[in-house]
Structure 1
Amino acid sequence: MKEKLTISEMAKLRGMTTEALRHYDRIDLFKPQYVDPYSGYRYYSIFQYEILGTIKELRQIGMSTHEIKQYFDQRNFKKSLDILKTKHAELLSKVNELAELEENIREKIVYLGEVNRDDELHEVSFREIKSRKLMTLHEKINTNLELCYGVLRLESMLTEKAPILASNRLGIIIEETDIRANRYEEPSVIFVVAKDRAKIQEQHLKIIPGGLFACIRYNGELLRNRSESLKKLTNHLEETGYHMIGDALQIMQVDITITDNPNEIMFEIQVPVEKKASLNL
């Protein structure tokens, strides 16, 4: 065992690179304790191991070299504790952000795995869907240009991480009166389905009650190509004894964030329905 260590020996002892130690030396964060008066060669002391270990740990919790220099400047118990508390709060915030991001990505992976079924395209199905909160500007969209700017405005109102990428949450509202009048390509209001915990200003909030929905999926564009699917859906309702009881939702299922193939772009139309009352003769 020896007291004086070369830069390579100290770096190896602490599992660091020699370049890191040279950088700490240049910025006066951690300097060798001894300088040979004849050769000018610099040596660290084994007794400096604790300081270097502290620097390494502070770097691991995300402190910059500038913050670490402040940490070592005239240290005392209270100052060190306050700095660590501040850094802990920052780490907790990052952990929460990462947890939210992980949750969103996990949900999208599960969703995309379920939606990738060609046998469900262009077929009407009935599904119970829970109540949803929509965030909307209550402005009708006439063109793809207006759609782009409308989506940007909605995204700016969200505080989530990676909120609507491939998320089954972006869509438009098709008014019941337009469907009944066979006006399938009328301008529509865009929306984003909000998370349950999201806080939405009242003027941008629309509640969609839970219940039974008739659904049909198709490939095409958001503001076009829905006429055929709406006709098929409404005909199916008439044949099976159901009727609409509210506005329909057209929701993006697979979009350009996932694929460049236009044939893979997918939407689902969801129409709230109920069974017609039977007549007792």
Structure 2
Amino acid sequence: MKEKLTIGEMAKLRGVTSETLRHYDRIGLFKPQLVDPHSGYRYYSIFQYEILGTIKELRQLRMTTDEIREYLNERNFSKSLDIMKTKHEELVSNLKELNELEENIREKIAYLEQVERESELQKVIFRKMKSRQLLTLHEKINDNFELCYGVLNLENMLTEKTPILATNRLGIIIEETNLKSERFEEPSTIFIVAKNTEDIPNTYQITIPGGLFACIRYNGELLSSRSESLRKILRYLKTNSYQITGDALQIMHLDITITDKPNEITFEIQVPVRKV
């Protein structure tokens, strides 16, 4: 045991790197206490171990070097307690944000795994769905230019973390009258399925009642692909005595947030129906 420690010895004792200590020395955060008058070598004192340990722990609390310098400067009980409280509030806020992000990513992975299992296209299937709350600007979209700004404005209303990435929540409303009369190329209203509407004005919200939906998936972004799928589902409903009961939804199933391969981009059409 000795009082004077080289940079390597102090680094090893405290489980940090020599470069970390050199950095702390350069910025004046933690400097060697002893300098050999003959060789100019700089040494740490073993009695500095506690300060270095405190710095190491404060770094684990995600404190910046400026915050650590403030913490170490003229320490007293009241000041240290206040700094600790402030840092704790920040950590709780970050933890809440990380938990929300983890939950969203977990849901997205489950959704994509479901997509992988249910890859069949151009097949009419029926699903029971719960009521959904949609966010919409109530504006008809005439071209891709308006679509870009419409989606941007809707996404800016959301407060979630990674809300749209890898989710089937963005789509357009196909009005019942246009669907029944096969006017498939009429301008449509875009929407996002809402998860949290607490801070969003009611004027931007509409409710899609729960119930039975006839669904069909298709890939590709051509209007002809959508028209073909809509005609197919209309023929199926007519043949099997189903009645359309409201506006249909066309939802992005897999989009450019997941793939840049055109043959993998997929939409799902959902038509509310009842058996006649």
Aligned residues: 276
Q: 2: CA distance between counterparts of 1:222 and 1:191?
A: 20
Match of 1:142 in 2: 142
Match of 1:121 in 2: 121
Deviations 1:154-204 (Å, cap 9, x if unpaired)?
111111111101210000000001111111111100011111465321111
Q: Shift of the alpha carbon at 1:210?
A: 1.0
- Contact map agreement 1:133 1:196 (CA 8 A) in 2: no
- Contact map agreement 1:185 1:226 (CA 8 A) in 2: no
TM-score (norm 1): 0.94
5+ residue gaps, structure 2, are: none
Match of 1:271 in 2: 271
Deviations 1:49-78 (Å, cap 9, x if unpaired)?
111010011111110111100001111111
Q: Secondary structure at the match of 2:259?
A: coil
Match of 1:211 in 2: 211
**Identity rate of aligned residues, in percent?**
70
Deviations 1:3-51 (Å, cap 9, x if unpaired)?
1111110011111111211121122211111111222211111111111
* Higher deviation after alignment, 51-60 or 194-203: 194-203
Match of 1:65 in 2: 65
* Higher deviation after alignment, 135-144 or 221-230: 221-230
Match of 1:85 in 2: 85
Match of 1:37 in 2: 37
Runs of 4 or more, structure 1, over 4 Å off, are none
Q: Shift of the alpha carbon at 1:245?
A: 0.8
Distance change (3 Å), C-alpha of 1:38 and 1:55: same
Match of 1:153 in 2: 153
Deviations 1:201-234 (Å, cap 9, x if unpaired)?
1111111111111111111227663111111111
Q: 1: CA distance between counterparts of 2:224 and 2:259?
A: 19
TM-score (norm 2): 0.96
Q: 2: CA distance between counterparts of 1:207 and 1:110?
A: 25
Q: 1: CA distance between counterparts of 2:52 and 2:224?
A: 64
Structure 1 vs Structure 2 CA RMSD: 1.5
Match of 1:279 in 2: none
- Contact map agreement 1:141 1:189 (CA 8 A) in 2: yes
Q: Secondary structure at the match of 1:81?
A: helix
Q: Secondary structure at the match of 1:157?
A: coil
Match of 1:171 in 2: 171
